[in-house]
Amino acid sequence: MRFFRDLDTLTIESKGHQDMVSEADREVELFVRRELAAAYPDDGIVGEEHAPTAGL
């Protein structure tokens, strides 16, 4: 919620033509990855903002 409360200070970058990413995008993906890794430690993870993680 802090990202929504502070929209005027949110960092947004361009990844390509009409492809934007914010610090909120990256932070949320990291949170989801941590939770998935904790629940399913043997599984790989593919996301949009960070490199894939190999599974076992």
Flag whether 22 is in a domain: yes
Flag whether 46 is in a domain: no
Instruction: Name the token pair of 26.
Output: 């990256």
d(CA 20, CA 8): 16
Query: Band of the pLDDT at 26, cuts 50, 70, 90?
Result: very high
Flag whether 9 is in a domain: yes
Q: What are the residues whose beta carbons fall under 8 Å from the beta carbon of 12, sequence distance 6 or more?
A: 20, 21, 22, 23
Q: What is the pLDDT of residues 12-23, one digit of tens each?
A: 888 877 778 888
d(CA 35, CA 41): 10
Flag whether 20 is in a domain: yes
pLDDT for the residue numbered 28? 93
Domains in the chain: how many in total?
A: 1
Flag whether 14 is in a domain: yes
Domain that holds residue 34: 2-39
pLDDT for the residue numbered 10? 80
Flag whether 12 is in a domain: yes
